[in-house]
Amino acid sequence: MRTAVAVLCLVGVLFVSQNAEAGTTFELMRQTAVTMTGELPCGGWDCDCAFKRQRGCCCVANDAFQLEESVFMRLVGLWQGVSALSSQIDELTGPSNQVAFTAGMSPMSTGSQCFGPFTSHVPISYTDVRLNQGFGYNPALGTFTAPRTGVYSFSYSVYSNVGSAGQRLYHMVQLMRDGVPLVSTWEDNREDSEDAGSQTVVLQLRRGSQVYVQLVFGRLLCGDTAGHNSFSGYLLYPLSD
């Protein structure tokens, strides 16, 4: 009996798109379907709806509703993912993350002019500021103060020219983080009249940490007429405080 009703149900759905020529046959199928007791054998389709309302209007209503819900939830998930990605991009590219500086020592007027020696360690004041985005670098002190927590890259170059062979080339500079030396560059000989060196480091800093380059006491830098001594740094990426 159920199989017969199922056949009548499906045949009725097919015939519902035809014109009124179905006549009495269509009415008989409709009555058979809508008066049946128990579960309809048509896979969850609303057979009663198919006969009583517009043609085929809701035979697949349940399936369509579930598909709509599934698509909607996926769209919600995609929107949340895009919003999270947008926030991360803003976090990485916002104005507070645009931190970079580069500065050099002011050119010395003559080849014999020197910076140092001093009786104590002295921070080098790179006063020829070429870039100071984010204003983390203080040229008066020669000190960079981290405006936010993150991973930074720093570089410095050292150059000294004592003028002629036989004079002592004697310098040593150190990159400092909060008063602690990290790397150094030095030279001590009477064979070279000039020499240069450089260092690059990557550091994790907290907001307010200070980085600077200092000349070790008793040492000196001479003859830099072109501003070869330089100090620079920039924020690689921020971290949570």
Reported for 69-74, long-range contacts at CB under 8 A and 24+ positions apart, including other chains, are none
Q: Give the dihedral of Cα atoms 140, 145, 147, 148; nearest 10 deg.
A: 170
Residue 56 buriedness (CB in 10 A; 0-12 / 13-18 / 19+): middle
pLDDT score recorded for residue 59: 56
pLDDT score recorded for residue 5: 44
C-alpha distances in angstroms, 131 versus 137, 187, 234? 9, 29, 10
DSSP 8-class letter at 20:
G
Question: For the chain, which domains are there?
Answer: 2-59 (no CATH), 96-238 (2.60.120.40)
Q: In whole angstroms, what is the distance from residue 232 CA to residue 164 CA? A: 30
Per-residue tens of pLDDT for the chain, all 241 residues: 444 444 444 445 444 445 555 567 667 766 666 666 655 455 555 555 655 554 444 555 666 778 888 888 888 888 888 887 876 666 666 666 889 999 999 988 655 689 999 999 999 999 999 999 999 999 999 999 999 999 999 999 999 998 887 889 999 999 999 999 999 999 998 888 899 999 999 999 999 999 999 999 999 999 999 999 999 999 999 998 7
Cis before residue 117, ω within 30 degrees of 0? yes
pLDDT score recorded for residue 50: 54
Q: What angle do CA 145, 149, 155 make, to 5 degrees?
A: 55
pLDDT score recorded for residue 123: 97
pLDDT score recorded for residue 88: 66
